[in-house]
Structure 1
Amino acid sequence: MKEKKKKKISGIQKRNNLNFYLYISPWLIFFLALTVYPMIKSLSLAFTDSSFNGKGNFIGLENFLQAFTADPRFWAAFKNTICYVLMYVPLSLILSFFLGWLLSRNVKFLGFWRTVFYLPYITAGVAVTILWGWIFNGTYGVINYILSLFGIQGPNWLGDKRLALGCIVVMCLWSLGNQILIMLAGIQDIPDSYYESAKIDGAGTLRQVFSITLPLSTPTIFFNLVIGVISAFQLFNQPYILTQGGPVNSTVTVAMLIFQNAFQYGKMGYASCIAWCLFVVIMIFTGIIEVTQKKWVFYDN
């Protein structure tokens, strides 16, 4: 049999290949150094009793046994985090779709309204969280002051274990600007011909929303859903600054538990164990979304 001739690579192709690897090398180096290596290192620490300096002895599955059987804050943190995800993510999707749809309806000063809705997203941080703490303050907060004008005595919002997590959800919903703009872009990408045909058939505004806008926005909703779930599971700043996990561990989150064990208690091995448990839970939720999206995401192709 005749040997197959090897395909010769031209000089231009070689140079293009070299340029490609040169261009991606900074990202690849940082990805390996700041993502892959820390993940491998944390996985190895999860099976040790390492302290803050990263030195410790191999103890097998003891960290996982402690988490699942002897640490009540572990289950409280996962319960609170999952409750937050189940409250925040659906509300964020509904609000971002509704506001994105409103902004797509030929409103005046569209650029101004985009800026108004996006500003909370870029200003969200420690200062804004403290500001919300003043708003929810049970003694001199703005909400309770307004309620007092109507003769209503407001509760201690962040000091009540039944209300504290809900207050954090409201606070985080305030900074939906990024999701709103993504949703607006997806809605504006829908061809006008669909709406024109619907109008000819006598479809009203609500019928157009539920029969055209919503189905054709499902790819954008799917994107926001995945990103929202992943980010919601990593909630840390708001409960850590406002409540420190209280009252009675009602707002302690998994990310906060990881931080406390690693940097306050010096249990780096145990913190790595919790981090990998969180990683597995996020992967499960993301996998469920990925599998089920075939039944509800409509791609117009």
Structure 2
Amino acid sequence: MTTLLRTPPARSTTPISRWRKAARSESAAFWLFLSPWLIGLVGLTLGPMLYSLYAAFTRWDGVNAPEFIGIQNFRVMFTADPDFWPSFGRTFLYAGARVALGTVLALALAAMVNTRIWGRTFFRTVFFLPSIVTGVPLIVVWLWMFDPTAGILNHLLGRVGIEGPDWLASSTWSIPALVLMSLTATGGAMIIFLAGLQDIPNDLREAATVDGAGWWARFRNVTVPLLSPVILFNVIMGLIGALQIFAEPFIMTGGGPERSTYFFGLYLYNEAFSYSNVGYASALAWVQFLVIVLLTVAVLRLSRRHVHYLGS
């Protein structure tokens, strides 16, 4: 008896091929939509950064061919430039005051609008709106407010019997004036704090209340520790932004009076575009970049003992 051997029918590869075509199509679409960002990253960020790293070791005026001089720019910067250390000092003074006051104010506003007060949605909007207006329009408004004769700040101080200062025309008050202006932009940090406050379980606050803790004890021992990751984030982002301040002193004071607002960003800009020392300015930019990176790493390391993550 013979047995007929039948070969099983070949499986259709149509579903697999269709899946592969769909995967390739999705991959192509992914890279197509991502390409504008990649082109911008490479052409407008990474490319100029790498070239500025090369320019930092050259003598270059931005027009003629750069001349390689090794570490001469850095040697001059740290040992012979009279503006390097003072400009860094002013920048750190401004950044410290801005971040400290801005963080406290943003947290206080977030705690206030997180309570069940009447019109809290309105107040959230009012506190956040000024952070949307940035750049030259905001600077022009504050120039009018800081006017020693017609400004609203000195007018309000005069109503309570206080003679207002010259603000931007005074070497004593120029940095406090810029710090006061920077507090306008605390709305963004306030929203982040508000999200963090709403993420804290109410059970923990209620347990602290049952134990007899008042509002300040609950805020200090429950809210602040659980909010510490958000505080860390706002502090780091605030430092990065404050250490790069440029537009405000450039437009409002030009670095004066008596170079009291001659911050590092303005100093770098003048070296590049006013004095045509593009190579030297590139070296300054990389020093600023490394300082911000090292400061960020230091803050992250110091925060290990003070930052508490919920559930960890």
- What letter matches 1:51 in structure 2? D
Question: Which secondary structure does the structure 2 equivalent of 1:123 belong to?
Answer: coil
Alignment of 1:227-266 (within 5 A): 227-266=237-276
Percent identity at matched positions?
38
The answer for the alignment partner of 1:120 in structure 2 is 130
The answer for the alignment partner of 2:15 in structure 1 is none
**Structure 1 residue corresponding to 2:59, chosen from 49, 65, 70:** 49
Question: Which secondary structure does the structure 2 equivalent of 1:288 belong to?
Answer: helix
The answer for the alignment partner of 2:215 in structure 1 is 205
Q: 2: CA distance between counterparts of 1:200 and 1:23?
A: 55
- What letter matches 2:108 in structure 1? F
The answer for the alignment partner of 2:10 in structure 1 is none
- What letter matches 1:138 in structure 2? P
Q: 1: CA distance between counterparts of 2:56 and 2:101?
A: 35
The answer for the alignment partner of 1:147 in structure 2 is 157
* Cα distance change on mapping 1:211 and 1:14 into 2, 3 Å: same
- What letter matches 2:91 in structure 1? T
The answer for the alignment partner of 1:108 in structure 2 is 118
Q: Is the counterpart of residue 69 in structure 1 residue 87 in structure 2?
A: no
Q: 2: CA distance between counterparts of 1:153 and 1:191?
A: 48
- What letter matches 2:196 in structure 1? G
TM-score scaled by length of structure 1: 0.90
* Cα distance change on mapping 1:283 and 1:149 into 2, 3 Å: same
* Cα distance change on mapping 1:80 and 1:105 into 2, 3 Å: same
Please tell me whether the aligned partners of residues 244 and 252 of structure 1 are also in contact (alpha carbons under 8 angstroms).
yes
Q: 2: CA distance between counterparts of 1:64 and 1:170?
A: 34
Shift, 1:43, TM fit: 0.6
Runs of 5+ consecutive residues of structure 2 not aligned to the other structure: 1-18
**Structure 2 residue corresponding to 1:11, chosen from 20, 35, 41:** 20
Largest Rg, 1 or 2: 2
Shift, 1:214, TM fit: 0.7
With 197-206 and 185-194 compared, the bigger mean Cα shift is at: 197-206
Q: 2: CA distance between counterparts of 1:155 and 1:94?
A: 25
Shift, 1:171, TM fit: 0.5
- What letter matches 1:293 in structure 2? S
**Structure 2 residue corresponding to 1:273, chosen from 271, 283, 286:** 283
Q: 2: CA distance between counterparts of 1:206 and 1:177?
A: 23
Q: 2: CA distance between counterparts of 1:219 and 1:123?
A: 27
How many residues end up aligned between the 2 structures? 294
Alignment of 1:208-227 (within 5 A): 208-227=218-237
Question: Which secondary structure does the structure 2 equivalent of 1:72 belong to?
Answer: coil
With 174-183 and 48-57 compared, the bigger mean Cα shift is at: 48-57
Q: 1: CA distance between counterparts of 2:121 and 2:64?
A: 50
Shift, 1:293, TM fit: 1.8
Q: 1: CA distance between counterparts of 2:50 and 2:145?
A: 42
The answer for the alignment partner of 2:206 in structure 1 is 196
TM-score scaled by length of structure 2: 0.87
The answer for the alignment partner of 1:299 in structure 2 is 309
The answer for the alignment partner of 2:95 in structure 1 is 85
Please tell me whether the aligned partners of residues 138 and 144 of structure 1 are also in contact (alpha carbons under 8 angstroms).
yes
Runs of 5+ consecutive residues of structure 1 not aligned to the other structure: 1-9
Question: Which secondary structure does the structure 2 equivalent of 1:175 belong to?
Answer: helix
* Cα distance change on mapping 1:13 and 1:228 into 2, 3 Å: farther
The answer for the alignment partner of 2:293 in structure 1 is 283
- What letter matches 2:65 in structure 1? K
The answer for the alignment partner of 1:7 in structure 2 is none
Q: Is the counterpart of residue 184 in structure 1 residue 194 in structure 2?
A: yes
With 11-20 and 143-152 compared, the bigger mean Cα shift is at: 11-20
- What letter matches 1:66 in structure 2? V
- What letter matches 2:20 in structure 1? G
Q: Is the counterpart of residue 29 in structure 1 residue 39 in structure 2?
A: yes
Question: Which secondary structure does the structure 1 equivalent of 2:36 belong to?
Answer: helix
* Cα distance change on mapping 1:201 and 1:149 into 2, 3 Å: closer
Q: 2: CA distance between counterparts of 1:180 and 1:151?
A: 33
- What letter matches 1:11 in structure 2? R
CA RMSD of aligned residues (A): 2.1
- What letter matches 2:100 in structure 1? P
